[in-house]
Structure 1
Amino acid sequence: MDLRDNKSRLILIVVALGAALVIAVASCGGGGDDGNEDDGAAGSSQETTEGGGDSGDDEPTDDAESGEGESEVVLAEVTGEQEITMTVTSAERQSGGFLTIEGTIYNGGGEAWGTAAWAGDESELAGNDFSMAGATLTAREEGKRYLILRDTAGRCLCTGFGLQIEAGDTMSWYAQFPEPDPATTEVDFQIGQMPPATIEIR
């Protein structure tokens, strides 16, 4: 009985010492790793926050600035015919002897608006209905008046608006004319009962 008791005690002591040693090693190793990981996590968290914060703050500013820079240049703007506002944003000469004019039409009235009178008085253009077909250019320096270009079927090289422009809506348009004399830098653009819009051409 005594030998068995002694063996049992020795076994218990060895097991206890082994367990204590394992716990001690694990706690030392784990503590070091935990510390390093915490330091590393804190460092990367700070770097991400600082780097991401800076780039995040810069990007909206850049976008806002570029958005402002891209705003359209208004060459001329006139209002008439039931609060219709016509804006000219571009007038450029193109190869082939054309002058292309672009802009927008805004219906500032309280109801939908459209008129076939904008097709002009020419019988050849009557089928264009509500469009920029009746637009003209007057070059006072040359003493000439230019009519819209059209194809052999009488379709104008311009925008057709369909039936109407709804109240509060804005529609883009273009119109092509024969190119004025190279020395001409200014023309009067006019359509329907709208006031003439004086624009510079390049």
Structure 2
Amino acid sequence: MTARYVRKARRTGVAALLVATLAFSAAACGGDDDGSGKDKGTSKSAESPDTGKVTGGASETTPDASTVLTTVKGDSGLEMVINSATRDSGGFVTVNGQIKNTGSEAYTTPVQWGGEEEALADADRSFAGMTLVDSKAKKRYYVLRDTDNRPLTTSGYSPSIESGSALTFFAQFPAPEPSTHEVGLQFPGFPNATIEISG
């Protein structure tokens, strides 16, 4: 009788263990099927713009083409369109715009766009060569850097801009004095432009 009791208890324990294992497996599979798994959420967050291509640590967004502060023509049918220059509460100015290739051939982006500083010689293609000039205060503002000395601007773009295409960009600078509402924008290959800072 004791032996039979032991065999029955073992069968009951094995059955309980099997049920628990199946229940755990079903729960794990269900989590993957409903799209709410942690890994999927992480992937979605990674695809969201962060500091863009900082690409230098700041959001890279498509500029609002309905607003144009200025348009300047460069070499080989290039046009630089500045869509916004916004002062933020953090003490910096973000410039958004586009480089349009209106020429008939692809345009190879020059290394001068990335600036001439030796510290940036090994950096990826960027807009670190862009500067803002406050002529009244006699100050020049360079693109900000992150803690790894990467410029806070669009970078890593294609080495050429195809005919009829546009390269959108952003660049962040230290903000001029609050009383300064207009600055000059300088970028290699384009004439100086005057833009108005909002905010």
Q: TM-score, normalised by structure 1?
A: 0.62
What is the rounded CA distance, in whole Å, between the counterparts of 1:89 and 1:136 in structure 2? 16
2:161 corresponds in structure 1 to 165
Quick check: 1:115–1:129 contact (8 Å CA) kept in 2?
no
Of 109, 115, 121, which aligns to 2:110? 115
Q: CA RMSD in A?
A: 1.5
What is the rounded CA distance, in whole Å, between the counterparts of 1:159 and 1:77 in structure 2? 19
Quick check: 2:65–2:83 contact (8 Å CA) kept in 1?
no
Please state whether the residue corresponding to 2:76 is helix, strand or coil: coil
Of 52, 70, 77, which aligns to 1:76? 70
Paired amino acid for 2:67: V
Quick check: 1:118–1:129 contact (8 Å CA) kept in 2?
no
Aligned positions of 1:181-200 closer than 5 A: 181-200=177-196
What is the rounded CA distance, in whole Å, between the counterparts of 1:119 and 1:191 in structure 2? 10
Equivalences, count: 133
Paired amino acid for 2:121: A
Shift of 1:153: 2.4
Aligned: 1:106 with 2:100: yes
Of 119, 143, 148, which aligns to 1:148? 143
1:11 corresponds in structure 2 to none
Q: More helix by proportion, 1 or 2? A: 1
Higher relative contact order (CA 8 A, sep 6+): 2
Please state whether the residue corresponding to 2:183 is helix, strand or coil: strand
Shift of 1:83: 1.3
What is the rounded CA distance, in whole Å, between the counterparts of 2:172 and 2:130 in structure 1? 10
Runs ≥4 residues deviating over 4 A: none
Please state whether the residue corresponding to 1:157 is helix, strand or coil: coil
Shift of 1:73: 1.2
Q: TM-score, normalised by structure 2?
A: 0.63
Please state whether the residue corresponding to 1:124 is helix, strand or coil: helix
